[in-house]
Structure 1
Amino acid sequence: MVGMFGPDMRDHGRTEARFLGITDLAEAPPVAVVVDVMRAFTVAAWVFARGAEKIVLAESLDEALALKARHPEWVTLKDGPPAPGFDRVNSPGLLRSADLDGRTVVQKTTAGTVGALAVKEASLVLCAGFVVAEATARLLRARACDRVTFVVTGEGGQADEDLACAHYIARRATGADTDAAEFLRRAGDSRAAAELAEGVRQGVHPDDIALCLELDRFPFAMVATPEDSLMVLRPCAVPSPTDEPST
């Protein structure tokens, strides 16, 4: 254990949490929580809230376009401005009114999808942001995960919005009462938030930052599993607090 929020964090021997960047992963851990607050997994949660059945996490823009060519009914989205072959951009503000009922969405982003694919051999892969933080922590508690690797996808593992979210979920995974205000403040003061606010990033809606910082907006966790050679993300219902195992 190196400080409260160092590389490892343990709570009374019950849970060991590691916080690593994508390039720090020497091998796939047993349990991985891949965090991308601004904006990949906030977008993913909104995609499910708008009715999508599943999200295929593409390894490259070319793979996303190839999947679209084979499945014209699938919806493709990417970071940045609109581009030929892509139906949507990676913005929660621009997706929150989309009709995706029953659809398959193909997502390719700079960091979030890369992080999830980097741990595709893990036994359990969860993708998370603040909007599904409590549901993610509750699923970790329900499955009695005592060693969890948080993959901090942004800025080589140093993105403060992703670290803040990972630290918060790690605390909640122990069942500890935790005030989210400081974690949300860190995320709101992050470089990613500033870049979104200043228009440095393209394909942005003015409400994106607020939507990314909407704590526990959705009641489901998001689990990624290999399906037919693809890494597929789906929403996962979580036990109610009264159904969780006692600690």
Structure 2
Amino acid sequence: METALRYDAKAAAQLVAIQLTPDMVAQRAAVLRALVPGAGDRVLDVGAGPGLLAAAIAERVGAAGRVLGVDISASLLAYARMHFASMPWLRFVQADAARLPCPDASFDTIVCTQALEYLRDADAALAEFARVLRPGGQLLAIDTDWDSIVWASSDAARMARVLALWDEHVADPHLPRTLGRRIERAGFERVCVRAMPLLNPAFDPDTYSNRLIDLIASFATSRGADEADVDAWARDLRGREDYFFSLNRYLFFATRARERVGVAVIR
């Protein structure tokens, strides 16, 4: 599971802070509504990160089920293991999405949120998903098109510089544009997609976008951006009376089967 953004202790803490915002709590609730995990289900969470979604799924499937969270980041997995050790049917392992340590057809459901866009070879991961998912099993994936950011700023050129560097934190910052067809080619059918907008129309410290500022700033400076320029960018955003942020993520839902059909839009 290759990524340009390395989740060291600092980046892991920033990601956990993002995942605990009401925006991300709402996203996890939307995933649970789409999946409807039931008692006894076997669920694989690829790119599980700090384990918050995997833990929520584990609560739904209960002790009769099994949830495996996979991630490449040791720092994020350490957080997950520390906070969710009370459910023995929930495990976390360090592994690559393209080389899953799982038998064929061993899961009823795979969920992969904000992970495929980090991979150099998303198609290899999708092929692995098809291998370990039972026929008729369900796949839910969420990824972001980072061109969809709308962020009020007093310096458009500076915003463009910072976001151009931020694009480098993933392997494919525009993955949703091609993901539906690639899921289909990997052996899935009934591929559906819907937009999941993130909207912060006013500044609040406890929002996705405010926490994202810290993550972007750290990454941009690690990529050689001028620290004073990045600091000015962050101060400008947080100091605006007309604060506005919007970003589109896309939820893809598909079924593992032999036949292949086109991409539909969920209405």
Query: What is the TM-score normalised by the length of structure 1?
Result: 0.27
Structure number with the higher helix fraction is 2
Rg comparison, structure with higher value:
2
